[in-house]
Amino acid sequence: MKTTLKVGFISFAHGHAFSYLEGMRKHPQVQVVGIADEVKSRVEHVVDQYDIPYYEDYKELLLTDIDAVVICSENAYHYEMTLAAAEAGKHVLCEKPLGISVPEMEEMIQVCQDKGVQLMTAFPCRSLISVIRAKEAVERGEIGEIIAIKGTNRGSNPGGWFVDPSLSGGGALLDHTVHVMDLMHWFTKSQVREVYAYAATRFNEELQVDDAGMIHVKFENGVFGVLDTSWSRPKSFPTWGDVTMEIIGTKGVVHVDAFAQKNEIFSDEDGKGSWEFWGDNMDNMMVASFVDAILAGKPVPITGEDGLRAASVALAGYRSREAKQPVALYADRAVQR
């Protein structure tokens, strides 16, 4: 059994890469041995600060003896980078959404399986202690059988490539459905069978993608779900957004405010309130779960299939918006009724 995991990073286009890098560096059994990004200015300061080898072409990084890669590129490149990593025999931790089309995500999963490498989707919200405790309460039967789940993932407009549909694959509906939809799948132990969604540009009319949405789902086991997925938080908001769930059961209700471990700070100098988090670092815990699984030769806790299921719901939401009616999901493929 390996005792040290050599990890490389492919692209820092998504800001989560910086947090994942810190998580990897803090893990006692990880060596970060390379960073690849075609835009050197995005990574120059971390490359210099930590003396990590830099690669302009990620394919050169894949030729080294690394064991695994973390992919935080623009959404549109997850597919090609994951396939290249799998062909090179490297395990993959891929930023969400896993991909921007169902066939691409299915191929990513299949190629990783064929090449004997593991593919994990970056869903750090499963590592939050409030989410874990709520899951345990549900498992103990404290609220009876789940009837419905109401969730929110309301963030700020990230700008940049996120609002370029050729790179992002969609707007807020795709960006902010997947985290909480993964939690809904996890809690219900069921898959979505039908989707009805609304998505539009409401906060910035100049955008080419949606910045507001509401997605309604029916699960195969009869549970209903609704999720507010938007970039509705203004620049003055203390942090980037929220993740909440209200899980309604036959015997009670559990409310989850995933980012409640914080101090509220009001500064006249800054001119607005701010949040200082003191609790769990979900990114560190997620990274550790990936590393520990690979080193132990065990399945990763959040699979490519999990990423496919969550993203498929969001993609079905766009089809629902265009059709102005519900669409059905069968075997992870969305087809119009």
- Contact present, 82 and 92 (Cβ < 8 Å): yes
Against a cut of 0.85, is the pTM above it?
yes
Decide if pLDDT at 244 tops 50: yes
Rounded distance between C-alpha atoms, residue 213 and residue 207, angstroms: 14
Region 66-86 average pLDDT: 98
Cα within 13 Å of Cα(232), Cβ side = 15
DSSP 8-state symbol, 239: S
User: Which domains does the chain show, CATH number per domain?
Assistant: 5-123+283-302 (3.40.50.720), 126-281+311-336 (3.30.360.10)
| Mean pLDDT confidence for 277-290 | 92
DSSP state, residue 171? S
pLDDT tens across 98-125, in order?
A: 999 999 999 999 999 999 999 999 999 9
Kind plus residue range of the DSSP H or E element containing 246? strand 244-249
pLDDT above 90 for 337: no
- pLDDT at position 78, please? 98
Q: 23 by DSSP, 3-state: which? A: helix
Residue 270: pLDDT band (50, 70, 90) is: confident
Q: Using pLDDT thresholds of 50, 70 and 90, give the confidence band for residue 331.
A: very low
Question: What is the residue-wise DSSP string for 112-157?
Answer: HHHTT--EEEE-GGGG-HHHHHHHHHHHTTTT-SEEEEEEEEEB--
